[in-house]
Structure 1
Amino acid sequence: MIRTTALLVIDAQVGIVEGPGIGPVYEHAQFVQTMKSLIEKARSQSVPVFYVQDVDVAEHGAEAYAIHPAIAPLPGEPVIQKKATDSFYGTDLHEQLQSHGINHLVIMGCKTEYCVDSACRKATTLGYDVTLVKDAHSTTDNEVLQAEQIIAHHNTVLHGLGNLEPFVIVRGSDEDVLVPSHDSYR
């Protein structure tokens, strides 16, 4: 099967990445730089970039609501507004991906244990192979774990997670994550 890739950027909004309130996320400056590099690489290779924006982060139009300016979408790049943790629930994300013939998603964004985790899991049940970029998702500390522990935990738990045929692979941004490697494990 031919794999067609899209890059999915989840909730990389100013209010989460930089704060105040929800953020800043763990190692936010490096996190933004890693996302920026991957977005530029995707664009240079004509890999479509899809953005998901959480409507509950801040009031629409507020600076905190905006996608981080260092990685802002270009005109014509889809921005999907969501109300739920699951990027697919109540949105047309799946339909848009299908209209582009996408069957492999490279996922990065915020927050690891909520929206990133949900997107990875849901994508496999919808038939997508997923590459989670291990150093391009981030979160904040909680009452039990430090952000670094949450990220490491999810990189371990999600690697190899599958639902029937599609599954998640966790790879670093130093690898060619835009080229799916799932078939080498099948």
Structure 2
Amino acid sequence: MTGKNVLIVVDMQNGVFASPRYDRSGRAALINQLIDRAGRIIFIQHAEGEMTEGSEFWQVLPELHQPADAISVTKTACDSFYRTRLDDVLKDLDATGFTVCGCATDYCVDTTIKVAASKGYAVTVASDAHTTGDRTHATAQQLIGQHNEVWRELSVPGNPVTVKTTAEILADWA
């Protein structure tokens, strides 16, 4: 990755948080720490149903810092790369990797991480800066812990996913 410290913030939107999500304020505070120190920020925004592009539900959560030069990429699938301009944006930034955070751990964050790793991007996951909701067979906290473990052990020969806390990432960026 270049020295730009690219941060991808997935689906931290009003419409996504219309359903309860684990530790919204705590996760938003950690994401803001990353936003404030990142060189470039890319907000991934899902558009589906009531979350039409430009609508209030599509907007990024108001408590998140939104720098004037932040980039927005709209997606319509769990995969942030699927039929979007994300690959082109990363190429324009000369980014060979990025740090990722956001919502939902078990859907869009997970899919984006796995696709990015298979595409050859060096992915760092902010282990304490992603969230989801409780599901039928697992709590949000269980899903977050389980996904952090899966990502640490993900088998992508020559391109392992790195999982670190926000504090560890910020120390690396210092």
- Out of 138, 151, 164, the residue aligned to residue 145 of structure 1 is 138
**Structure 2 unaligned runs (5+)?**
none
- Out of 41, 44, 53, the residue aligned to residue 52 of structure 1 is 44
Partner of 1:184: none
Partner of 1:27: 23
Computed over aligned residues only, the root mean square deviation of the Cα atoms, in angstroms, reads 1.9
- Over 3 Å counting, the alpha-carbon distance change for 1:178 and 1:125 in structure 2 is farther
Q: Measure the CA separation in 2 of the matches of 1:10 and 1:160.
A: 22
What letter matches 1:10 in structure 2? V
Alpha-carbon displacement from aligned partner over 1:33-72 (angstroms, at most 9, x marks no partner): 1111111121xxxx11111000016234432221011225
Is the CA contact 2:53–2:74 (under 8 Å) kept in the aligned structure 1?
Answer: no
Report matched runs for 1:1-186 at 5 Å: 5-17=5-17, 19=18, 23-42=19-38, 47-56=39-48, 58-177=51-170, 179=172
Aligned length: 172
Per-residue deviation, 1:174: 1.4
TM-score with structure 2 setting the length = 0.90
Is the CA contact 1:13–1:64 (under 8 Å) kept in the aligned structure 2?
Answer: yes
TM-score with structure 1 setting the length = 0.85
Per-residue deviation, 1:169: 1.1
**Structure 1 unaligned runs (5+)?**
181-186
Identical positions, percent: 30
Equivalent position SS for 1:167:
coil
Is the CA contact 1:13–1:65 (under 8 Å) kept in the aligned structure 2?
Answer: yes
Equivalent position SS for 1:121:
helix
Alpha-carbon displacement from aligned partner over 1:7-54 (angstroms, at most 9, x marks no partner): 00000002223x2xxx22101111111111111121xxxx11111000
Is the CA contact 1:5–1:179 (under 8 Å) kept in the aligned structure 2?
Answer: no
